[in-house]
Structure 1
């Protein structure tokens, strides 16, 4: 168990689970009752869900892992940082924790990872909360992210200059992030070695069929049909330069029965900008999932 960190809004004592490949995943496991699994993206970590965990833990068991290479998990320098590996790791953790039924909350890469797991285990999914994410192929990629994928320049920007995680603390929000919160988001990513997965996630975006993760994402997308009858709550930040309105509409098209709320002035880190409105929506949604 990791000692309590002195980070704003993060009073938790994360636990660790060692995977078969030897890497250890850190995860928050707070509260008791029906399970809510919160899956983060890049370049965030379980800190993203701190307020949601605190609000839900009195009634629910909240599990929020840090992907390998992220947050407080191990950050091996030579590791298969691919979508398929992250899905396998999540599967191993939830099996270890004996999670047989849960509601998923997914954001950013957490959509492909969490719903990749859900497509394999639809019988264990009670519902899904979707926050500015994708779990299907798209040909669009913002220029600023494309630059971070370039050989030589990408590693310099992302790992050397911290030009992905640090800009996210002001580009992914519309409200100014408080310095203590900014410190929390950046805490695990303070040097070249600790930013390895941030770069690998950027490089792992499959933009053509020859990409190593293309077929994995195809399988994730195909698995969504197993979830069409599951309750879904969509909460979307409308000022997201990456996951823009196209993605929101695509989720609504694929899941027409979903409850959808669009927050036009919220950014990519939608929980930072609209958490006061989203948390009650999630609480109400969870009650309906467990009726």
Structure 2
């Protein structure tokens, strides 16, 4: 099931160095120096390449940006880096500063949620809107099975060491009724080298007190009444769809779109449906009258 690409808006690849991490950056749009941008932040174990299709769809509306977060994709993966929510938020802020972004419309997935929302809470005047894809402010959340393994010393290292391509693809297909494209899974596995596996373990072990962090983020974000869109694959085995409506506790006016046949990666298993929700929302946020060429059904 290849990801469709009837609309081709060229994306440019470059590199930047922030917080001592050199990383890959993808950008598109008519004005690559615009100070307002749609900023896509991947999760675990993704990279900026996760967003290529949605970036191509969004680029006619304005500047679009995605980057590899520290420890992922083609970014540096040093052993000594602080892989944490705070570390990711700090890196994101410095990268956006270097890119000249003064207002960011955040599109967040998985661990991109904590990274992006922490940055938003600390920089509310720089936030244009927030789109949450199977992520958000998580209250009463319990770690999923794989996360519990990764958080356990030795057991996590053993699981990472024993994971091969076949096993990785089998696990990733759990909870994805529509299936995931082979090229998406192969690219993700190839990017998940020893450095990324170490970063994942460090990140999950540095993230605790989920309820306390969720409550704190909610208190910091709610007063700003950010315009928000929530897109959720209902079959997600990692973060229950019950957390989709929960986002209105923090973003009272949030629009919520759930996709019954999608799992944790709806931008990969049903990219057209995600685009159909995201593009009109972004048209309103960016104030553009640019017509978006609809995909076929």
Offset of residue 262 of structure 1: 1.2
CA–CA separation in structure 1 for the residues paired with 2:72 and 2:158:
19
For the 8 Å contact 1:8–1:184, the answer to whether it is kept is no
What SS does the aligned partner of 1:54 have? helix
CA RMSD of aligned residues (A): 2.6
Task: Give the structure 1 partner of residue 218 of structure 2.
Answer: 221
> Are 1:147 and 2:153 an aligned pair?
no
For the 8 Å contact 1:44–1:165, the answer to whether it is kept is no
Distance change >3 Å, CA 67–CA 138, structure 1 → 2: farther
Offset of residue 173 of structure 1: 2.9
Offset of residue 134 of structure 1: 2.6
Task: Give the structure 2 partner of residue 253 of structure 1.
Answer: 249
Distance change >3 Å, CA 35–CA 172, structure 1 → 2: farther
Task: Give the structure 1 partner of residue 172 of structure 2.
Answer: 169
Q: 1:155-180 CA deviation, whole Å, 9 max, x = no partner?
A: 11124425996455312633222322
Q: 1:175-222 CA deviation, whole Å, 9 max, x = no partner?
A: 222322222222311x4234221222232331479xxxx66x664333
Task: Give the structure 1 partner of residue 294 of structure 2.
Answer: none
CA–CA separation in structure 2 for the residues paired with 1:13 and 1:171:
33
Distance change >3 Å, CA 144–CA 55, structure 1 → 2: same
Greater mean deviation of Cα atoms: 169-178 or 179-188: 169-178
Offset of residue 18 of structure 1: 1.4
> Are 1:122 and 2:124 an aligned pair?
yes
For the 8 Å contact 1:238–1:264, the answer to whether it is kept is yes
Task: Give the structure 1 partner of residue 293 of structure 2.
Answer: none
Task: Give the structure 1 partner of residue 181 of structure 2.
Answer: 178
Offset of residue 29 of structure 1: 1.7
Task: Give the structure 2 partner of residue 4 of structure 1.
Answer: none
Name the TM-score, length of structure 2 as normaliser. Answer: 0.83
How many pairs were matched up?
A: 277
CA–CA separation in structure 2 for the residues paired with 1:226 and 1:106:
20
For the 8 Å contact 2:106–2:127, the answer to whether it is kept is yes
Q: 1:126-152 CA deviation, whole Å, 9 max, x = no partner?
A: 111111113345441123321222111
For the 8 Å contact 2:15–2:23, the answer to whether it is kept is yes
Name the TM-score, length of structure 1 as normaliser. Answer: 0.85
| Gap regions ≥5 residues in structure 2 | 288-297
For the 8 Å contact 1:138–1:207, the answer to whether it is kept is no
Offset of residue 54 of structure 1: 1.2
For the 8 Å contact 1:112–1:136, the answer to whether it is kept is no
| Gap regions ≥5 residues in structure 1 | 1-6
